[in-house]
Structure 1
Amino acid sequence: MKANLLLTSVNGVSLLCLLAGLSPVQAIPAGNESQYNTETFKLAEKISHVKTQTSFKIRNENDQTFSVEQKLISSRDIGTKPDSLIANKQRQNTNLALKISGDSSPQSALTRANTIAQVTSVSQLSDVQPTDWAFGALQSLVERYGCIAGYPNSTYRGNRALTRYEFAAGLNACLDRVNELIATATTELVTKQDLATLQKLQEEFAAELATLRGRVDALEARTSELEANQFSTTTKLNGEAIISAIGATGGAPGRNDPNIILVNRVRLNLTTSFTGKDSLITGLQAYNFLGGVDGSGSLQESLGLASPLLSASSARTSFEPQFPGVDPKTLSGISANSLQLYKLLYIFPVADKLTLFAGTAAEVSDAFPTITPFYGEGQEAISRFASLNPVVRVSGGTSGSGLASAAGFIFQLSKQLDFRALYGNANANIPQLADDIQPGISGTPLGSGAFGGSSVIAAQLTFRPSSSIDIGLNYANSYHEINILGTGLTSSDVGSLIGPGLDLGTPVKLNSFGGTVTWRFSPKIAFSGYGAAFFVDDSSGAVDASTTFTSWMAGIHFNDLFHQGNNAGIIFGQPLYRSDTSGVAQLAPDGANRAVPYHLEAYYRFRINDNISITPGAFVLFNPESDSNNDTTTVGVLRTTFTF
């Protein structure tokens, strides 16, 4: 029998010599670095296991037989997180390539691995020519051993340097491949000299291989713990709990200041993915805000600033539902802290640039980028006015209770530009109108049917001309079965058209336009503002009436103010205001002293740790609800937010 080791039909000397002396990179003995060429080295790992324990026998030229046991460690899990390990275990026998470059960290090699593709012929590498001095070595590694990978653009980039960590990872991959060849070989032998060369390489990189082995062992232990205690393999659970004290002074003439109240809102969100790219969002919530049909028990009603129906007001906080204590679709009551489904939405890509979404409990802000940094009901601005452009809120677009059933798309035109649109209907699950409870108002006041009653078509074009500027342009066309705007931002939201023959049962049609911009002129300071205009027209045909509402806001947002993680904001603007009317519509209700309303707000969020923040803040309303008869009103908030 020939005095060499079984290694299929190839002589193992070519591979070992390539690794030890003939390859573009060599193992460098300490103190002799200058004697070695260190241009580049690249390996591809065929993954079939994390660890392999292999033993085999060799026979030297004198027919002496001895055993060699070798523990090979797959480098595919270097620096990966436990969740990615779980995914990797489901993708066994997957090709993974490690690009070896000048980064000294072992994690960086795996981080870049996904950008490299396995090649089966050296001719696939566009920048490797037969005249290159290393062409033969590369050809051998590719065609005999499968130890070379290229970039997606079919280049090899063979003149880049590598580190010892990276060479150790590559060496380990090739050792794995050699072991596979030995395990399946039936002919030819390798000499003892070949194995000695291999042993020297292992000894030279023993420290690096030990480091990799330790990392894999630690990650395997963490993965086992996660698998044993995980909530779900497809669903992630997160939550937010808000506990807040709210006090106010001012309001309508003759009203006493309300007592300080303590309120809460708790949300649990489950995000499920079935393909790794899609998301099913299921949201549950409970809160103890009061209000009901007539606003009884709400802070706004106590101040005398709420609408007579559904308690719409400019004194509302950011984390308060638009319709607290009532289902506006049926006018049925909701008791405090009862469990509700406030979100059910499925988002799924259908092409590289096109994503679709649909759900029976959705909000416009689920699909449209918010642009302004003041948005964040539990973390940022404390008022409803400051968080979003009013056009996004029209027709209950952000009710806080997932009022609408909606479907739409997200089209990514480029990295700087995307377009989104949706159709939403607040009464899609109601088959027929209920009996009238007032003239022109049924027990299902928003209407009925998926394509009848109150509905909205909304769109947003988001433009990012630079990394520091975000611009959002909004349009909404909506039909409302009753005479409301559906924003919850002002008492004039209910009874949007006022005048002879314009009662609550008058249906209205809205065309709403808005724009929002945020400019981060330094890493920690941003300017943000919006403008909006609503054009409201009678839709019954019985009268000629139209009204224009306008609103604007400007503010400064601070990141990491005084301490990392602490944010602050100063905001000033004009809440929704009847700026113009035509036909029989009036600018103000009878008895009101019409005046331009203004809103001034400041808050500071203390970040206690990654999961707890405390936000004290206050906002002041001048001429609240566009009536100078009302006293200047101040609302103070102390909000504590827990995230998990």
Structure 2
Amino acid sequence: MAKYLLASASGASFLCLINGLLPIQALATSVQIDNNSLVNVPQKSAIINSQVAAHETKLILADGSQPESPAIKGEPEVQDSSQSYESQTSDNNESAQVTSVSQLSDVQPTDWAFQALQSLVERYGCIAGYPNGTYRGNRAMTRYEFAAGLNACLERVNELIATATSDLVKKEDLATLQKLQEDFSAELATLRGRVDALEARTAELEANQFSTTTKLNGEVIVAGIGATGGAPNQGDPNIILVNRVRLNLNTSFTGKDLLITGLQAYNFLGGIDGSGSLQQGLGLASDLLTASSARTSFEPLFPGLDVKTLSDLSANSIQLYKLLYVFPVADKLTLFAGTAAEATDAFPAITPFYGEGNESISRFAGLNPVARVSGGTSGTGLASAAGFIFSISPQLDFRALYGSVNANIPQEAGDIVPGVSNTPLGAGVFGGSNVISTQLTFKPTSSIDVGLNYAHSYHEINILGTGLVRDDIGALAGVDLGTPVTLNSVGGTVTWRFSPKVALSGYGAAMFVDASSGGDVNASTTFTSWMVGLHFNDLFKSGNNAGIIFGQPLFRSDANGEAQLAPDGVNRATPYHLEAYYRFKLTDNISITPGAFVLFNPEGDSRNETTTVGVLRSTFTF
């Protein structure tokens, strides 16, 4: 057969062509890797540099590799998964076809196959070479690769014949094609059989698909939590088993926008007085709304309570925790708006410890407290919000939002205690509790990320709204709960990846709380917090992460006017937080994270015993 192939220039053409081809082409939604199965490799949608990443499918061979494939006329090119939807579309539309063999940089006129390639490129248009303008004719091949290239040229010749241009096809070439078709009949039949099976599976998937515009993903967390220590003369609470389930519908109407609809259910308890919560069992929770430094990362800010109306929520009731629409309006400007949103929907987390299902097990370590102020990360999409993302450059962007907690309530309800109504966070888009929150994110080098936060808040009652410490409720100590407050909060977060698998990360934050100027109270106080930690990627095994964290939870460092440094009866002492966790990745969709954090001088009170909270968290994603 080899002798026959070399008998004519066109026979040599086919040999050259097949040396550069791969047996499988990229498909829009799935790739067949054997006779029975399809592989889908979706990319998660995310708001990254003002773009929404598109769902893609990677080309996967039987050995698990992802080869680079030359372009065949009429077939799509495999795109790099790191490209945005916009750049992929542009590349596909604008990539130039090779129309002359001289455009292939690694093929010279002195090469023995130059004339053969010239016939394929200029006479039949069978190949376009690799996207970088090379041909790479010296690599080895398989019979299936040869059959794939042969099939491409058969289709091109049939196209020429069907369009009444048969005079362009030489008789010798047709004879060569016929001989090759006979010699490779088994491979061609297998190749076409796979395409037929793939088309049938694709048709079945299309007929039964959920939506052409919407992708569903979900996360299920099941965790055992135990704790010891707490307030003096307080018995240790029992070990509890909790869950949180989230289903997210990510919808794109144009390929660049994103509508996020999130449903959630959990069985954490608390309510208005903290009943049934682990923190109340330790004696470390506030008398109202369950604020505490003993919080885990995956429990909501106000468990078991609709804080807008002070109504109870039953365990595992379904809630709409996310409703947000993100859409670009210019190359560097993206807008977003929604009635259930959080700061983390727009602000990138600089620290690697953020990840409620897979990273830090405590609420303290995941984010800078400034991002959490005013319910910015409530876990329930507490606020209606609108804002923008301005990508100044690949290394620098600026993001801001305005959030209103009770935007859907037209009027405040009557007071239940002096100054505290049954809608304690106020009413209306601009009349109740609100926050203006910003973040400037920049990357001075490829290994350093920096985030600077500022937030200005107004609260109808005397709270911080972070849920991080007991003093979150009654932020101005010694001042009535019904006193409105104004907050100005500043913070910075830095992560330095000084090796591919180890990162040093930390934050610092300060919150300046003042009694609102509309009242008769003169009081102010300052809270500070800081954290530093080491994060490890692929520790002992690929996919396994770990973290060691130490820092100071929010603590009053100053008080003026009628405000006190600590409530009456508290032995004031600086609190500290020490945490360690290790995430085992069992599969791509299942992980288990054992960890513990220790609180020294919990809630800034030396009377409280050193407290340890242990967590065994299982996370399932799909």
Measure, in 1, the Cα distance between the counterparts of 2:109 and 2:29.
34
Alignment correspondent of 1:544: 522
The one-letter code matched in structure 1 to 2:488 is N
The one-letter code matched in structure 1 to 2:215 is K
Alignment correspondent of 1:395: 374
Pair 1:141–1:571, CA change in 2 (3 A): same
Measure, in 1, the Cα distance between the counterparts of 2:28 and 2:591.
35
Pair 1:200–1:521, CA change in 2 (3 A): farther
| Correspondence 1:111 to 2:78 | yes
Alignment correspondent of 2:133: 157
- Correspondence for 1:250 among 229, 233, 243: 229
SS at match of 1:553: strand
Deviation at 1:519, TM superposition (A): 2.0
Measure, in 2, the Cα distance between the counterparts of 1:453 and 1:274.
34
| Correspondence 1:512 to 2:479 | no
Measure, in 1, the Cα distance between the counterparts of 2:483 and 2:295.
26
| Correspondence 1:619 to 2:597 | yes
Alignment correspondent of 1:48: none
- Correspondence for 2:407 among 425, 428, 434: 428
The one-letter code matched in structure 1 to 2:9 is G
Question: Tell me, which stretches of 5 or more residues in structure 2 are unaligned?
Answer: 32-37, 43-64, 71-76, 81-87
Alignment correspondent of 2:83: none
Measure, in 1, the Cα distance between the counterparts of 2:544 and 2:121.
54
Q: Is the Cα contact below 8 Å between 2:103 and 2:133 reproduced in 1? A: no
Between 1:168-177 and 1:597-606, the stretch displaced more is 168-177
Measure, in 1, the Cα distance between the counterparts of 2:212 and 2:29.
21
Pair 1:441–1:162, CA change in 2 (3 A): farther
SS at match of 1:593: coil
Deviation at 1:437, TM superposition (A): 1.3
Alignment correspondent of 1:564: 542
Measure, in 1, the Cα distance between the counterparts of 2:391 and 2:190.
43
Q: Deviations over 1:476-531 (max 9, x none)?
A: 111111111100000111111124xx311111111111111222222322222111
Between 1:569-578 and 1:505-514, the stretch displaced more is 505-514
Deviation at 1:252, TM superposition (A): 1.6
Alignment correspondent of 2:52: none
Pair 1:144–1:554, CA change in 2 (3 A): same
Q: Is the Cα contact below 8 Å between 2:17 and 2:149 reproduced in 1? A: no
The one-letter code matched in structure 1 to 2:371 is V
Pair 1:340–1:80, CA change in 2 (3 A): closer
Alignment correspondent of 1:21: 9
Map 1:87-102 → 2, pairs under 5 A = none
Alignment correspondent of 1:523: 500
Q: Deviations over 1:438-466 (max 9, x none)?
A: 21111111111112211111111222233
Q: Is the Cα contact below 8 Å between 2:414 and 2:422 reproduced in 1? A: yes
Alignment correspondent of 2:308: 329
Alignment correspondent of 1:57: none
Q: Is the Cα contact below 8 Å between 2:160 and 2:168 reproduced in 1? A: no
Alignment correspondent of 2:442: 463
Q: Deviations over 1:76-108 (max 9, x none)?
A: 64995369899xxxxxxxxxxxxxxxxx97663
Deviation at 1:626, TM superposition (A): 0.9
SS at match of 1:459: strand
Pair 1:383–1:181, CA change in 2 (3 A): same
The one-letter code matched in structure 2 to 1:111 is V
The one-letter code matched in structure 1 to 2:485 is V
Alignment correspondent of 1:587: 565
Q: Deviations over 1:372-426 (max 9, x none)?
A: 2211212221111111111110000111111011112222222222222211111
SS at match of 1:291: coil
Q: Is the Cα contact below 8 Å between 2:528 and 2:555 reproduced in 1? A: yes
Between 1:330-339 and 1:524-533, the stretch displaced more is 524-533
Alignment correspondent of 1:642: 620
Between 1:181-190 and 1:278-287, the stretch displaced more is 181-190
Q: Is the Cα contact below 8 Å between 1:555 and 1:570 reproduced in 2? A: yes
Pair 1:169–1:476, CA change in 2 (3 A): farther
Q: Is the Cα contact below 8 Å between 1:244 and 1:640 reproduced in 2? A: yes
The one-letter code matched in structure 2 to 1:592 is V
Alignment correspondent of 2:431: 452
The one-letter code matched in structure 1 to 2:133 is R
Measure, in 1, the Cα distance between the counterparts of 2:166 and 2:135.
36
Q: Is the Cα contact below 8 Å between 1:286 and 1:339 reproduced in 2? A: yes
The one-letter code matched in structure 1 to 2:555 is Y
The one-letter code matched in structure 1 to 2:492 is G
Between 1:629-638 and 1:104-113, the stretch displaced more is 104-113
Measure, in 2, the Cα distance between the counterparts of 1:252 and 1:106.
61
Measure, in 2, the Cα distance between the counterparts of 1:452 and 1:162.
73
| Correspondence 1:631 to 2:617 | no
Q: Deviations over 1:196-217 (max 9, x none)?
A: 1333565687787567546534
Measure, in 2, the Cα distance between the counterparts of 1:121 and 1:608.
46
Measure, in 2, the Cα distance between the counterparts of 1:612 and 1:105.
24
Deviation at 1:173, TM superposition (A): 3.8
The one-letter code matched in structure 2 to 1:630 is N
Task: Report the identity percentage.
Answer: 73
SS at match of 1:377: coil
SS at match of 1:223: helix
SS at match of 1:342: strand
Give TM-score, length-normalised by structure 2: 0.81
Measure, in 2, the Cα distance between the counterparts of 1:160 and 1:524.
35
Alignment correspondent of 2:55: none
The one-letter code matched in structure 2 to 1:557 is H
Pair 1:614–1:456, CA change in 2 (3 A): same
Alignment correspondent of 2:206: 227
| Correspondence 1:269 to 2:248 | yes
Measure, in 2, the Cα distance between the counterparts of 1:162 and 1:211.
26
Q: Is the Cα contact below 8 Å between 1:20 and 1:27 reproduced in 2? A: no
Map 1:57-136 → 2, pairs under 5 A = 75=25, 77=27, 81=31, 108-109=69-70, 110-112=77-79, 115=91, 117=94
Pair 1:211–1:278, CA change in 2 (3 A): farther
Q: Deviations over 1:568-613 (max 9, x none)?
A: 2211110001112233322111221111110111122223333332
Pair 1:230–1:20, CA change in 2 (3 A): farther
- Correspondence for 2:510 among 508, 533, 536: 533
Q: Deviations over 1:99-138 (max 9, x none)?
A: xxxxx97663342596464658969x9999xx99999999
- Correspondence for 1:353 among 323, 332, 338: 332
Q: Is the Cα contact below 8 Å between 1:343 and 1:362 reproduced in 2? A: yes
Q: Is the Cα contact below 8 Å between 2:513 and 2:525 reproduced in 1? A: yes
Measure, in 2, the Cα distance between the counterparts of 1:393 and 1:85.
34
Alignment correspondent of 1:98: none
Alignment correspondent of 1:599: 577
Measure, in 2, the Cα distance between the counterparts of 1:432 and 1:366.
28
Q: Is the Cα contact below 8 Å between 2:29 and 2:40 reproduced in 1? A: no
Q: Deviations over 1:141-173 (max 9, x none)?
A: 889866676999xxx836764755888656544
Measure, in 1, the Cα distance between the counterparts of 2:566 and 2:293.
16
Question: Tell me, which stretches of 5 or more residues in structure 1 are unaligned?
Answer: 1-16, 29-36, 44-72, 87-103
Pair 1:139–1:452, CA change in 2 (3 A): farther
The one-letter code matched in structure 2 to 1:402 is G
Map 1:312-391 → 2, pairs under 5 A = 312-391=291-370
Measure, in 2, the Cα distance between the counterparts of 1:263 and 1:78.
40
Alignment correspondent of 1:306: 285
Measure, in 2, the Cα distance between the counterparts of 1:157 and 1:189.
26
Measure, in 2, the Cα distance between the counterparts of 1:560 and 1:158.
37
- CA RMSD in angstroms, aligned pairs only: 3.8
